[in-house]
Amino acid sequence: MFSQQVFLQGLGMGASLIMPIGAQNAHVIRTGVRGRHLLLTVATCVLIDITLIGFGMSGFGALVEASPLLLAICRWGGALFLVWYGCRCLKSAWQTHTAPVQQDGARAGSARQAFTLVLAMSLLNPHVYLDTVVLLGAVGSSLAAGHRTSFAAGAMLASLLWFSGLGLLARRCAFVLERPSVWRAVEVFTGATMLVLAALLLRP
């Protein structure tokens, strides 16, 4: 049975987890600024999120949460990834004097390369699993059976709306974001945010 209240709960929780800037969001912004394979990138991010949310709703999220070993692997793996990505962004901000269009033009040359890159940015980031499989999955699977579909639909819609809107906004604002000085500021902000998220992830 569809519940509007539970649907909105899933939408709100999904949005709160996905909106803070992370590796996926930063990659979508970069792709939007480049203007190449944006639809492929956004669609892949959305499908990955939908799949992982469904996986978590099946009860796997609760299983991970109940396993100290699996939870520790997710936490430490996610923190290491965030530290690596944060340092990468800060290094790029320090060394780079060109816009991301010039930086990444060669790597974004084909749809296959773009698809491989977005898969890596999504699936090699354990923090994604913590948000979708563990947190959303644990909350959703704890609801009454008749409300789980409503919660999952809300969380999935949040992913669709966010990535689509973010990609479109980045494309529309490319004339600003592609300026080297602005992009360096974006890289610094992203890198600092990644390091803060890593610290919060490891907080007892």
CB 16 within 8 A of CB 97: no
To which residue do tokens 């912004």 refer? 29
79-134 per-position pLDDT tens digit: 887 788 788 888 877 876 555 554 544 444 688 888 988 888 788 777 787 788 87
Check: CB of residue 149 under 8 Å from CB of residue 66: no
CA angle 179-181-182, nearest 5°? 65
* In contact, 159 and 50? CB cutoff 8 Å: yes
pLDDT at 48: 93
Look up the domain containing 68 and give its range: 4-202
Give residue 119's pLDDT: 87
pLDDT at 65: 63
Which pLDDT tens digits describe the chain residue by residue (204 residues)? 788 999 999 999 999 888 877 778 888 988 888 788 999 999 999 999 999 998 888 876 666 666 777 777 777 877 887 788 788 888 877 876 555 554 544 444 688 888 988 888 788 777 787 788 878 887 887 788 888 899 999 999 999 999 999 999 989 988 887 777 887 887 888 788 878 878 877 776
Q: At what angle do helices 180-202 and 23-34 cross, to 10 degrees?
A: 160
| Amino acid (one-letter) located at 101 | V
Q: What is the dihedral of CA 147, 150, 156, 159, to 10 degrees?
A: -100
First to last CA, the chain: 38
Q: How far is CA 85 from the centre of its chain?
A: 13
Q: What angle do CA 186, 192, 195 make, to 5 degrees?
A: 140
Instruction: Give the helix, strand, coil percentages of the chain, each rounded to 5.
Output: 85, 0, 15
Whole-model pTM: value is: 0.76
> Could you tell me what percent of the chain has a pLDDT over 90?
23
CATH of the domain at 123: 1.20.1250
Contact 84, 189 (CB under 8 A): no
Tell me how many domains the chain contains. Answer: 1
